[in-house]
Amino acid sequence: MWAGGNIVRAVSRVFAKFATPPPAPSTTHPWRRDSTRSCCCLMNLAGTLATPATAPAPRHEMPLNPSSSASFLLSSSLRRSLLASLRKASPTAAAALSPMASASTVAAENGAAKATAEKQQQPVQVAKRLEKFKTTIFTQMSMLAIKHGAINLGQGFPNFDGPDFVKEAAIQAINAGKNQYARGYGVPELNSAIAERFLKDSGLQVDLEKEVTVTSGCTEAIAATILGLINPGDEVILFAPFYDSYEATLSMAGANVKAITLRPPDFSVPLEELKAAVSKNTRAIMINTPHNPTGKMFTREELEFIAALCKENDVLLFADEVYDKLAFEADHISMASIPGMYERTVTMNSLGKTFSLTGWKIGWAIAPPHLTWGVRQAHSFLTFATCTPMQAAAAAALRAPDSYYEELRRDYGAKKALLVKGLKDAGFIVYPSSGTYFVMVDHTPFGFDNDIEFCEYLIREVGVVAIPPSVFYLNPEDGKNLVRFTFCKDDETLRSAVERMKTKLRKK
């Protein structure tokens, strides 16, 4: 007898949530405290909700239109709540109603699956200038790392945090209310810190108001430089292998790309080949030193040869120098410091690599005013401004004492030594790395046809992620024997990865 009363109260609560209250029950048909009769009444009610009624609805009820998704969702929600209440009050009644609910649920799921299938049949759409570019190799490899539980020595982000004094500066800036849009080309304190750092590193004094532009990472500095200074049909020369953003952004700008291949073991610049590649249509040469992915540092001789070509042919120079503080065997030389080159050079850099804060995306471009104009025009319509409190923290970071940079190089030097020895012990042919936090190796001792095939095996069977660099060449064949590893990981991670490779890889 009490079960029926519990059911009545449970359903009353459900109706209070989902339905317009019905008129008071007639005094000649009172609810009875009879469990069997109550359950039957509620089962009939639930059955009505489970199957759309064809009879006219009473005036106090909202008609249920079977074709109305809103009504269907309402009745589904009501039905689920009703069943939940019945389970508490009377398991027997709930079990009797479950088939009706299940049938309705299956129908709903079938309809949703059909709609999803129809959506999936739509072809993907992308502009023709980007058709050849797929999901970046870094994203693909990182996803595979997660899927297979592999150690990620592929994508170049540290698995340890940046310095506390920089993070504290960000927190202070946030608490001080520096949270609105920044000035488009950078907050004054960061522009000033960038100019000071550039003077110390290159010996060049720049105008912080007219020649420094803060961007959302170096990748945006690259995009703003290319989109702001390159016209459709202009020719731009790259050194392969190259960071994949270069080619994609040049494609967006409608440029024609030429590539000069740097080959192992030392990845030196083929000077005469470069000279022959420069034509009347060449608008710019783009360099990255220290060089990702090879670890090469351009020598003074190479830089001066490139500078001479630029001056003789009135060519611009775009210099990506994000790894300038990770130079192990020689001092970094900024291209803008070569005599006669500042007036035709855009120097791009960022905070992330030097301070292990890659997620902050704080970058900058330094250029003479006549080139800065184009960079800022593009920047204004790409991101307009960069994260305000992080800019304040970046200013604090760039004013770090020289001891910070010395310790950084010392720590990364030790990590490089650990990984290089492990790779050699595992059987790779390891090429020298003078800068960055990358090492290039030859995987052919293990008998695979190409780098993609080897890297997939390495993830699945060995549990280590590396980057197949063939994607960084115009001609993938040039990079099929190579693999890139990163050592911007803690020592335990590096040792674990090395141990896996030494244990599981076999020469063929």
Q: What is the pLDDT of residues 42-91, one digit of tens each?
A: 344 444 434 444 444 433 333 334 333 433 334 444 445 545 554 554 55
The residue among 501, 398, 507, 390 whose CA lies nearest residue 447 is 507
What does the pLDDT read at residue 409?
97
CA distance 89 to 94: 9
Task: State percent of the chain over pLDDT 90.
Answer: 70
- pLDDT-based confidence at 17, cuts 50/70/90? very low
pTM over 0.85: no
The 8-class DSSP code of residue 136 comes to -
CA distance 444 to 398: 42
Q: Is the pLDDT of residue 96 over 50?
A: no
Range list of β-strands (E), 351-460: 363-366, 429-430, 438-442
Sheet containing strand 235-240, edge to edge, reads 212-215, 363-366, 345-350, 316-320, 282-288, 235-240, 256-261
Helix (H, G, I), strand (E, B) or coil at 422: helix
Range list of β-strands (E), 80-182: 151-152
Q: Where in the chain is the domain with CATH 3.90.1150.10?
A: 130-161+403-504
Q: Which residues of 379-406 are buried (b: 16+ CB within 10 A; e: fewer)?
A: beeebebbbbbbbbbbbbbbebeeebbe
For the ranges 4-13, 146-155, 168-177, which has the lowest average pLDDT?
Answer: 4-13
* 296 in Cβ contact with 267 (< 8 Å): yes
Q: Is the pLDDT of residue 418 over 50?
A: yes
Q: Is the pLDDT of residue 158 over 70?
A: yes
Q: Is the pLDDT of residue 221 over 80?
A: yes
More confident residue, 135 or 408: 408
Q: Is 452 exposed, middle or buried (0-12, 13-18, 19+ CB in 10 A)?
A: middle
For the residues 114-141, what does the mean pLDDT come to? 78
Phi and psi (nearest 5°) for 381?
-110, 5
Q: Is the pLDDT of residue 473 over 70?
A: yes
Unique residue bearing structure tokens 């030790």: 414
For the residues 422-430, what does the mean pLDDT come to? 98
What does the pLDDT read at residue 141?
80
Within 8 A by CB and 6+ apart from 145, the residues are: 151, 152, 154, 459, 465
CA distance 342 to 252: 26
The H or E element spanning position 345 is: strand 345-350
Q: Which residues of 60-92 are buried (b: 16+ CB within 10 A; e: fewer)?
A: eeeebeeeeeeebebbbebbebbbebbeebbee
CA distance 107 to 101: 10
Sheet containing strand 438-442, edge to edge, reads 429-430, 438-442, 482-486
Q: Is the pLDDT of residue 3 over 50?
A: no
Question: For 438-450, how does the pLDDT look when each residue is reduced to its tens digit (9 = 90+)?
Answer: 999 999 999 999 9
Q: Residue 486: beta bridge partners?
A: 438
What does the pLDDT read at residue 283?
98
Exposure on the CB side of residue 118, measured as CA atoms within 13 A:
6
What does the pLDDT read at residue 19?
44
Q: Where in the chain is the domain with CATH 3.40.640.10?
A: 164-399
Question: For 299-333, how does the pLDDT look when each residue is reduced to its tens digit (9 = 90+)?
Answer: 999 999 999 999 999 999 999 999 999 999 899 99
Question: For 484-495, how does the pLDDT look when each residue is reduced to its tens digit (9 = 90+)?
Answer: 999 999 999 999
For the residues 110-116, what does the mean pLDDT come to? 62
For the residues 397-415, what does the mean pLDDT come to? 97
**Beta-strand pair 282-288/316-320:** parallel
User: What is the 3-state secondary structure of 168-182?
Assistant: HHHHHHHHCCCCCCC
Angle between helices 388-398 and 188-202 (to 10 degrees): 30
What does the pLDDT read at residue 116?
61
Q: Is the pLDDT of residue 9 over 60?
A: no
What does the pLDDT read at residue 41?
41
Phi and psi (nearest 5°) for 439?
-135, 135
Domain spanning 130-161+403-504: which CATH class is it, in words?
A: alpha beta
What does the pLDDT read at residue 123?
86
CA distance 473 to 261: 8
Helix (H, G, I), strand (E, B) or coil at 326: coil
How many other C-beta atoms can be found within 10 angstroms of the C-beta atom of residue 101?
Answer: 18
Question: For 226-236, how does the pLDDT look when each residue is reduced to its tens digit (9 = 90+)?
Answer: 999 999 999 99
Q: Residue 364: beta bridge partners?
A: 214, 349
Average pLDDT of the residues of the chain: 84
CATH 3.40.50.300 corresponds to the domain 164-399: no
* 376 in Cβ contact with 366 (< 8 Å): no
Angle between helices 2-18 and 69-89 (to 10 degrees): 150
What does the pLDDT read at residue 131?
85
